[in-house]
Amino acid sequence: MKTLRDVRIGETARVVKVHGQGRIRRRVMDMGITKNVEIFVRKVAPLGDPIEVNLRGYELSLRKDDAEIIEVS
Amino acid sequence: MSITIAVAGNPNSGKTTLFNALTGSNQYVGNWPGVTVEKKEGVLIGHPEVILVDLPGIYSLSTNSLEEELARDYLLESNPDAIINIVDGTNLERNLYLTTQLAELGIPMVLAVNMMDEVEKSGAKIDGTMLGKAFGVPVVEISALRETQIDELARIAMGTAQKKGHLLPMHRFSGGVEHALGHIEEVALHDQPEHKQRWYAVKLFERNELVQAELGLSTALEAHIEQDIRQCEMEYDDDSDSIIASERYDFIEEVLEKVTVRKKAGDLSPSDRIDRVVTNRWLALPIFALVMFVVYYVSVNSIGAGMTEWTNDKLFGQIILPAISGKLANWGVAGWLQGLLVDGILAGVGSVLSFLPQMVVLFLLLGLLEFSGYMSRVTFILDRMFRKFGLSGKSFIPMLIGSGCSVPGIMASRTIENEHARRMTVITTSFIPCGAKLPVISMIAGTFFGGKGWVAFGAYFLGIAAVVISGLILKKTALFQGEPSPFVMELPAYRWPSFKCILITTWDRVSSFVKKAATVILLATIVIWFMTFFGWVDGRFQMLEASQINHSILAAIGTAIAWIFRPLGWGEWRPVMAALSGLVAKETVVSSLGIFYGFSEVAVGGQEMWTSLRMAFSTLSATSFLIFVLLSAPCIAAISTIRREMNSAMWTLFAVGYMTTVGYVVALMVYQLGIWLKEGMFTLWTGITLAVIGVVLWLIFRPSPKAGSALKRAKAGARG
């Protein structure tokens, strides 16, 4: 399964499904990461984590571990 | 008749700016009950009957975070007459997500589309009338920063509130979902008020456990609903909560299609261009260091310190105090009353006032960082380093400021969103040696270590180590457990902050310090003054001369508890009482020791009494003494600030108890291990110390209970 964590910087991916459970899953969906949305991976923080992505016209940062619950194609 | 209007919106949507524009400085800042989240209320300018409640900035009502829970509970339980939902016009898509949820609560609502000036400048267009029709609410296009259309918004909000109707949500989900929702309303919710049914139906469809519990449906009914949900999930090949979230966004996309003309994509916005430099992989940390240096230099070192010194030494030391003492003496006021007024009350007022200039400068700068959007980047840059210790990237700032004075440092923890991280920061900030601890450090360094600089360096290292190790230990305790708040954070566009807004925020924070902490500081200073300057001489209770304070109440307490500190190597009333007197202010430790060893006046480093100190302490016991003074409970001003920020007596007790325990344990380890290594004597206390070290190591390295495994389960689910 390819996840958002695997997407390289500067690439765009399309969300297939949000896995996981609890607050992280809810928050991810609330922030607009839902089925079929396109996510552009902009950069990684200076210490290697978290990452910064662009979706729905705004910038979002999330940890790599949390990016793993987002299945993309 | 009073009207209550709640202001709700995403973080960074300009909510605070709007709230300030609507209420002016007519605000009351407090806390939501039992938590450390700020609660603001204000009166609408020109309409004393209209109360505005500023809800915490939230992205949704799903109760992912404490802020969302507070906002949701407030809206559901307090039933405000209307909601002003402020949305960022430059970021409508995500901002309107919350709007779809708010609309389901049935509370009359006005939509305030903010930042219209920026929208127009970027060449985009928003059709407010069409947007209003889509959501079934009035829309006002505003700029909170430039205060355009604010009166219009207030007028429409008041009108909406006075109608006392119920809002029926306009947006519809797709056929299959509506079918399931309709069914749920029919079987389980027909006895609920009509305007609330949809909210409950959606929550039941999402399998929200809180709502399930609240409604207390029968098992049969729940199973029946579950069947509906399953069927819908099969049809959509997705989970029910995901279906709802997706469809909300689908609805918004559809509306925006009709309502907005978007600016052309592709061009980097000014904000993106700033971020290419500011959060650049190589430049981010140097730039951060520079920003922090400026904040520290301005607030602690130059302006702040200068003003504090002026208030303390000039205003109080040379003008007010001598003037008042002189007057009192002239009038022939009784000695004890003079003492109470000058050494008790005025000294207390002075110490409170001396914090203020520094605090004002600090909060102005922090406000600038917060409102411009840089604070979010601080978290982005430092998260990896700080999260291991249960702290936030933003914890760096309180600790940095704390190296000047813990009081503003602890207050700077306000900017941390996550409550666990905020509490952790409040508890650990005063481990970092503040300016007042430096005289103690230089006294011990001068007396026992030839004044070597590495002692001061070691003190800072000890402070940082105490923060890190506390983080590792505390985050595994039940107090800091519970499902971790997700770190999925918006990086808002950089904006010119509103100067008025920064001023009001600074004013709020400083005045709440004066109201809440200052009174406690004043009282405590008086109590400590009383305990220091009153006592029994020859069996008679009386006021004491400075040279007699070994007869004081505090000395009696020091003598009574001295045995506790025997394992630390200084179990005698003088050092114990000196350490206790540090509660007034840490630099008092030096002057107290001076008095006890017979010197009426000592320099900052206590040079006069080095010989006496060398006789009273060994190098080892002096080190242990220094460690205890550095790490244990901070001064009464800092404790009062902790009380103010924690908003709970229990947490304050815990914080103070924890710090004192840490000070004791570390001093114990250093002293007992030192004795063992130096003199080769293995005593009962050596054994106890080794056992304590074992416990500490276990606390640090034990596996994290529950929360960790929940996370792993979630991930296993993700991978599977």
pLDDT at B137: 95
Q: A50–B380: do the CB atoms touch at under 8 Å? A: yes
Question: Do the domain assignments include residue B49?
Answer: yes
Question: Do the domain assignments include residue B15?
Answer: yes
Closest chain A residue to B63, measured at CA: A23
- A4 to chain B, any CB pair closer than 8 A? The answer is no
- At residue A37's C-alpha, the angle toward residues B105 and B263, to 5°, is 90
Chain A residues 23-62 within an 8 A CB cutoff of chain B? 23-32, 34-37, 43-50, 52, 56-62
Alpha-carbon distance B509 to B359, whole Å?
Answer: 9
pLDDT at B482: 67
User: Which chain B residues have a beta carbon less than 8 Å from that of A14?
Assistant: none
Closest partner residue to A23 (CB to CB) among B384, B486, B713 is: B486
Inter-CA distances, B102 with B85, B277, B684, Å: 8, 38, 65
Q: Are B675 and B623 in contact (CB under 8 A)?
A: no
pLDDT at B530: 84
B166-204 pLDDT, tens digit each: 888 888 899 899 999 999 999 888 888 888 888 999 999
User: Which chain B residues have a beta carbon less than 8 Å from that of A9?
Assistant: none
B108-129 pLDDT, tens digit each: 999 999 999 999 988 889 999 9
Nearest of B29, B31, B38, B34 to residue B417 by alpha carbon: B38
B425-478 pLDDT, tens digit each: 999 999 999 888 888 998 899 899 987 788 988 999 999 999 999 999 998 898
Q: B718–A66: do the CB atoms touch at under 8 Å? A: no
Nearest of B629, B585, B630 to residue B431 by alpha carbon: B630
Confidence class for position B566, pLDDT limits 50, 70, 90 = very high
Closest partner residue to A58 (CB to CB) among B94, B249, B487 is: B94
Confidence class for position B298, pLDDT limits 50, 70, 90 = confident
User: How many structural domains compose chain B?
Assistant: 1
Closest partner residue to B94 (CB to CB) among A24, A31, A43 is: A31
Question: Do the domain assignments include residue B542?
Answer: no
Bond before A50 cis per omega within 30 degrees: yes
Confidence class for position B600, pLDDT limits 50, 70, 90 = low
Closest partner residue to B242 (CB to CB) among A18, A32, A52 is: A18
User: How many structural domains compose chain A?
Assistant: 1
Question: Do the domain assignments include residue B19?
Answer: yes
Q: Both tokens of residue B386?
A: 């700080």
Instruction: Give the range with max mean pLDDT: B267-281, B559-573, B606-620.
Output: B559-573
B369-421 pLDDT, tens digit each: 988 989 889 989 999 999 888 898 889 889 988 887 888 889 888 878 788 89
User: Which chain B residues have a beta carbon less than 8 Å from that of A10?
Assistant: none
Closest partner residue to B279 (CB to CB) among A21, A43, A49 is: A43
Please give the residue range of the domain that contains residue B136: 3-163
Nearest of B197, B628, B207, B648 to residue B422 by alpha carbon: B648
State the ipTM, two decimals: 0.97
Higher pLDDT, B224 or B529: B224
Question: Do the domain assignments include residue B416?
Answer: no
Sign of CA dihedral B214, B219, B223, B225: negative
Please give the residue range of the domain that contains residue A31: 4-72
Instruction: Identify the weakest region by mean pLDDT among B3-7, B153-157, B196-200.
Output: B196-200
Task: List, in sequence order, every residue forming a beta bridge with A51; answer none if it has no partner.
Answer: A44, A62
Question: Do the domain assignments include residue B90?
Answer: yes
Q: For residue A19, what is the domain's CATH number?
A: 2.30.30.90
Backbone phi and psi for residue A40, each to the nearest 5 degrees, phi listed first: -100, 125
* E strand or H helix at B214: helix B209-215
Question: Do the domain assignments include residue B198?
Answer: no
Q: A34–B94: do the CB atoms touch at under 8 Å? A: no
Interface test with B, best of A1, A4, A9, A23 (most B CBs within 10 A): A23
Q: For residue B144, what is the domain's CATH number?
A: 3.40.50.300
Question: Do the domain assignments include residue B709?
Answer: no
